[in-house]
Amino acid sequence: MLNMISHGDPTDLPPLLIVHGLYGSARNWGVVAKKLSDERQVIAVDMRNHGESGWRDTHSYPDLASDLAEVLQEIGPADVLGHSMGGKASMVTALHHPDLVNRLIVADIAPVAYGHTQLPFIHAMKKVDLNTVEKRSEAMAQLEEAGVEDPTLRSFFTQSLDLKGGKWRLNLDVLETEMPKIMGFPEDISGQFDKPTLFLSGAESDYVLPEHRDTIRGFFPKAKFVKMSGAGHWLHAEKPTEFIASVRTWLARA
């Protein structure tokens, strides 16, 4: 079972399950989860090979969907919110286990394969000499030397650093090996999720493009599309107030 962090108590409304993206964790979503838990219980998970969840030898989307289905069987049918990698995992879960998902929110990702890679970040994290790191700032400095120019990303990555244990809470070797699967989307997947689905994207992001919409509607015929102005791929971190308001409004109407 994946590690879960629960916010709030069960209510008459279905719980909301939050699924983080690559290199993330349930803790990264604490602000969003706490705010949304004033109306319903919110549960954030650590995906396999991330955070406090177990490490596995594979990281395909059918694997991730199976992990999420196990959680949903435990907490009951839920609304599901997934970002990036977590959005793809949530989409596959909804397609494979539609009885476990009430409504779906996909944050800045489409059910398509992408041509870029996240491998340089893994290589940078592997270059950090954890034997010499006593403070998070020291790891951030080494990440900068390794080529991670964006200070926001350096801060984000080091949230997955276990300083006391001297290790990353990320299975970097498996994530590196499985990167083609992470950047892709299962080619043999079929079916439809015929329930309300929101594709919430950053207006400054190029992850969800107009040419993706036919593919999206093929899987999710009730898909609605909303773009958040001034936000990129990390829309929940860049514009948390607007992101929370968009999620709350849609859940109240869908």
The arithmetic mean of pLDDT across residues 176-189, rounded, is 97
**Model confidence at 87: pLDDT above 80:** yes
Whole-number Å distance between alpha carbons of 144 and 151:
8
The one-letter amino acid code at 84 reads S
Q: What is the pLDDT of residue 254?
A: 74
Whole-number Å distance between alpha carbons of 250 and 254:
6
Q: What is the pLDDT of residue 98?
A: 98
173 is catalytic: yes
Averaged pLDDT score across all residues of the chain = 97
Each residue's pLDDT tens digit, 151-162 = 989 999 999 999
User: Cα–Cα distances in Å, from 107 out to 6, 79, 88, 133, 244?
Assistant: 20, 14, 9, 34, 12
Each residue's pLDDT tens digit, 91-145 = 999 999 999 999 999 999 999 999 999 999 999 999 999 999 999 999 999 999 9
For residue 3, the tally of other CB atoms under 10 A from its CB is 17
Q: What is the pLDDT of residue 214?
A: 97
Each residue's pLDDT tens digit, 185-235 = 999 999 999 999 999 999 999 999 999 999 999 999 999 999 999 999 999
Handedness of CA 1, 219, 26, 163 (dihedral sign): positive
**CB distance 181 to 174 below 8 Å:** no
- Could you give phi then psi for residue 209, rounded to 5 degrees? -105, 160
Angle at 50 between CA 111 and CA 179, to 5 degrees: 45
Q: Report which DSSP code applies to 179.
A: H
Q: What percent of the chain has pLDDT over 90?
A: 99
Please give the model's pTM, rounded to 2 decimal places: 0.97
46, 233, 236, 246: which one is catalytic? 233
Each residue's pLDDT tens digit, 38-47 = 999 999 999 9
The one-letter amino acid code at 242 reads E
Strands of the chain, DSSP E: 4-7, 16-19, 42-45, 78-83, 101-107, 161-162, 167-168, 197-202, 223-228
**CB distance 42 to 16 below 8 Å:** yes
The arithmetic mean of pLDDT across residues 24-29, rounded, is 97
37, 84, 90, 160: which one is catalytic? 84
162, 173, 194, 206: which one is catalytic? 173
